[in-house]
A and B are shown apart, each in its own frame.
Chain A
Amino acid sequence: MSPRPGGPRAVRLLTLAGLVALAGLVGCTGEGRDAPPGVAEEEPGEWAGDPGLTGTLTVFAAASLTDVFTELETRLEVANPQLEVRINYAGSSALAAQLAQGAPADVFASADEAQMARLEDDGLVTDSDVFARNPLMLAVPLDNPEGIMPPEGRAGIPSLADLITAEMTVAVCAPEVPCGAAAAEVLAAAGLRDAPDTYDDDVRSVLTKVQLGEVDAGLVYVSDVHAAGDEILAYAFEESSRAVNSYPIGVLEDAPNPAAARAFVDLVLSEAGQQALAAAGFQPPP
């Protein structure tokens, strides 16, 4: 099962991927308020038929949605050439904090319900729908230094305790962020509270440490495992069903572009959106 390719070339590629991923995270903070030139100057006389959606749509989305939402963004823009979609990807907590401080946005897609609840309490969002679920998996570096694998001769999904021990170097998210809250729950259920060696601020940061081979294992979302492709090994485990993060999406009360916002949410909930999410490893809502 566990292949050991691990040559220097592979390591270098992983490294590069990690750097790019991190640089992306660092860079994704800007969100424009101004419509690009040309879009604002609507001249009704020129419309031949259905004007479609216009203006700028600003979406605040959890970092784990990067791949899927970028695909959906393109789809919406192709269907509506006059629409400019901007997506701000970051940790859900950070996004919720930004929105609570008045950041202008049309749509918020969170990686957990707690952050959405925070905005609903503040009256910033009145209605939200769960559009996907994302259980945790155990990610392991390709060279698998600790030889982590399910116990032989046993059918079914193993327990997390069968895969890792407290002695291993394990990375998880910090309990303050959604993936960390879930990690804390599954670790407690498996009796492995002491296993983590670092509580990262972000699930991508955990993934990077796994990709670099600097930890023996890390708890990440299924969607991250999909995104990482064959750069890591990954194991499902029994306890993950105890803490499955639900992803809610909602239109902001003060959305500058409510029509486009509604269209984006509808696209995410549509069959096409659900297929894209499934392809990225997300599970459908219950």
Chain B
Amino acid sequence: MRRTARDPRIPVPLLVPATVGVAFLVLPLVGLLVRAPWSSLGEQLSAPGVGEALRLSLVSATVATLLSLVLGVPLAWVLARSRIRGRSVLRALVTVPLVLPPVVGGVALFLVFGRQGIVGSWLDDAFGITIPFTTTAVVLSQTFVAMPFLVVSVEGALRAADARFEDVAATLGADRWTTFRRVTLPLVAPGVAAGAVLCWARALGEFGATITFAGNFPGTTQTMPLAVYLALQREPEAAIVLSLVLLAVSLGTLLLLRDRWLGRAAG
């Protein structure tokens, strides 16, 4: 019957802090559930703008995650595998958005992609494209803030992966790009998936950089967190409802993806 001979009980020095940790993370959520105005839920949910904000949040967070994958996975590879000079400085720079207050991040994005920004002014002059106050700006804000989460976790996975497999691939005639696609990437796939989930969750909750750089306009730049924050100013109950919607949708998505990944890993 027993699958392992190991004692199945959790040691008390681990159990107690773990329980406190769960309580600390879950109780605020319980608080939201208790305070939610269940009787007026339908009314709150059908309020104009809610669906729009939710759709915008999901779309922009997903696009930001895809963009982060396209840029962040190669960046993680460079950090983990290449021997370029100044790699540690590069790594520190990449994680700057993690410590930068997001609002300041939004201002920094103005300085690059704004009308007066280095890249933005050129885009405006050459193509008549302005990025601020558009959905593109939402995606850029979210990518700026969320991509480091992906880079850090993919780099960790790459460092933990056995580099000898890459040697084997090379001796079998695979160049570095082929090796990356056929060997390295599949080997670190779980790390990439975990990084993508973190990245998506962070993008979904992004507030500061978005409201600064993309502004707040229903339909184009008002994501759920912005809607929640502004609702909080006037109707805290509406804010709770919106938060719960965001939570439910994100938890549902993550559980669904997790099942699919686990299903694939087992099959």
Chains A and B belong together in one complex: yes
Q: Give the segment of B7-15, B51-59, B228-236 that binds chain A.
A: B228-236
- Residues from chain B with Cβ under 8 Å of A174 in the complex: 216, 230, 233
Determine whether the beta carbon of A196 is less than 8 Å from that of B103. Answer: no
Q: From residue 148 to 178 of chain A, which have CB atoms closer than 8 A to chain B?
A: 169, 171, 174, 176-177
Closest CB in chain A relative to B68 CB, distance in Å: 24
Closest CB in chain B relative to A265 CB, distance in Å: 25
Q: Which of B107, B221, B236 contacts A19 (CB 8 A)?
A: B107
Q: From residue 121 to 175 of chain B, which have CB atoms closer than 8 A to chain A?
A: 130, 132-133
Given known A-B contacts A196-B217, A198-B216, A208-B212, A176 and B231 have beta carbons under 8 A apart: yes
Determine whether the beta carbon of A205 is less than 8 Å from that of B234. Answer: no
Bound Cα distance from A11 to B212, whole angstroms: 18
Q: Is residue B77 within 8 Å, beta carbon to beta carbon, of the partner chain?
A: no
Q: Which of B101, B111, B217, B231 contacts A23 (CB 8 A)?
A: B101
Residue of A nearest to B131 (CB): A214
Closest CB in chain B relative to A20 CB, distance in Å: 10
Determine whether the beta carbon of B116 is less than 8 Å from that of A201. Answer: no
Q: Is residue B104 within 8 Å, beta carbon to beta carbon, of the partner chain?
A: yes
Determine whether the beta carbon of A214 is less than 8 Å from that of B216. Answer: no
Q: Is residue A119 within 8 Å, beta carbon to beta carbon, of the partner chain?
A: no
Q: Is residue B110 within 8 Å, beta carbon to beta carbon, of the partner chain?
A: yes
Residue of A nearest to B103 (CB): A22
Q: Which of A23, A93, A196, A212 contacts B110 (CB 8 A)?
A: A212
Closest CB in chain B relative to A26 CB, distance in Å: 5
Query: In the complex, which of the residues B114, B130, B212 has the most CB atoms of chain A within 10 Å of its own CB atom?
Result: B212
| Residue interface mask A210-225, B partner, CB < 8 A = 1 | 0011100000000000
Q: Is residue A25 within 8 Å, beta carbon to beta carbon, of the partner chain?
A: yes
| Residue interface mask A266-285, B partner, CB < 8 A = 1 | 00000000000000000000
- Residues from chain B with Cβ under 8 Å of A208 in the complex: 107, 212
Bound Cα distance from A22 to B107, whole angstroms: 9
| Residue interface mask A32-45, B partner, CB < 8 A = 1 | 00000000000000
Determine whether the beta carbon of B104 is less than 8 Å from that of A23. Answer: yes
Q: From residue 195 to 234 of chain B, which have CB atoms closer than 8 A to chain A?
A: 208, 211-212, 214-217, 221-222, 226, 229-234
Q: Is residue A257 within 8 Å, beta carbon to beta carbon, of the partner chain?
A: no
Q: From residue 228 to 262 of chain B, which have CB atoms closer than 8 A to chain A?
A: 229-234, 236
Determine whether the beta carbon of B211 is less than 8 Å from that of A200. Answer: yes
- Residues from chain B with Cβ under 8 Å of A145 in the complex: 115
Closest CB in chain A relative to B235 CB, distance in Å: 8
Bound Cα distance from A173 to B230, whole angstroms: 10
Determine whether the beta carbon of B230 is less than 8 Å from that of A201. Answer: yes
Bound Cα distance from A198 to B218, whole angstroms: 9
Q: Which of A22, A25, A177, A199 contacts B215 (CB 8 A)?
A: A199
Closest CB in chain B relative to A185 CB, distance in Å: 16
Bound Cα distance from A213 to B117, whole angstroms: 10
Q: From residue 1 to 40 of chain A, which have CB atoms closer than 8 A to chain B?
A: 11, 15, 18-19, 22-23, 25-26
Query: In the complex, which of the residues B116, B216, B217, B233 has the most CB atoms of chain A within 10 Å of its own CB atom?
Result: B233
Bound Cα distance from A33 to B202, whole angstroms: 33
- Residues from chain A with Cβ under 8 Å of B232 in the complex: 93-94, 97
Closest CB in chain A relative to B192 CB, distance in Å: 32
Bound Cα distance from A22 to B232, whole angstroms: 20
Determine whether the beta carbon of A93 is less than 8 Å from that of B216. Answer: no
Determine whether the beta carbon of A214 is less than 8 Å from that of B104. Answer: no
- Residues from chain B with Cβ under 8 Å of A201 in the complex: 211, 216, 226, 229-230, 233
Closest CB in chain A relative to B121 CB, distance in Å: 10
- Residues from chain B with Cβ under 8 Å of A200 in the complex: 211, 215-216
Q: From residue 174 to 202 of chain A, which have CB atoms closer than 8 A to chain B?
A: 174, 176-177, 196-201
- Residues from chain A with Cβ under 8 Å of B231 in the complex: 176
Q: Which of A91, A176, A198, A214 contacts B221 (CB 8 A)?
A: A198
| Residue interface mask A75-110, B partner, CB < 8 A = 1 | 000000000000000010110010000000000000
Residue of A nearest to B111 (CB): A15
- Residues from chain A with Cβ under 8 Å of B104 in the complex: 19, 22-23, 26
Q: Which of A15, A91, A196 contacts B107 (CB 8 A)?
A: A15
Determine whether the beta carbon of A93 is less than 8 Å from that of B217. Answer: no
Can you give 15 contacting A-B residue pairs, CB < 8 Å? A23-B101, A23-B103, A26-B103, A93-B233, A93-B234, A174-B230, A177-B230, A197-B217, A198-B216, A198-B221, A201-B226, A201-B229, A205-B211, A208-B212, A214-B110
In the A-B complex, the 4 residue pairs with the closest CB atoms: A198-B215, A93-B233, A176-B233, A176-B230
Q: A23-B101, A26-B104, A94-B233 are in contact. List 15 more A-B contacts (CB 8 A).
A: A18-B107, A97-B233, A176-B233, A177-B230, A197-B217, A198-B133, A198-B214, A198-B221, A199-B216, A200-B216, A205-B103, A205-B212, A209-B110, A213-B114, A214-B110
B residues sitting closer than 8 Å to A (CB atoms) are 101, 103-104, 107, 110-111, 114-116, 130, 132-133, 208, 211-212, 214-217, 221-222, 226, 229-234, 236
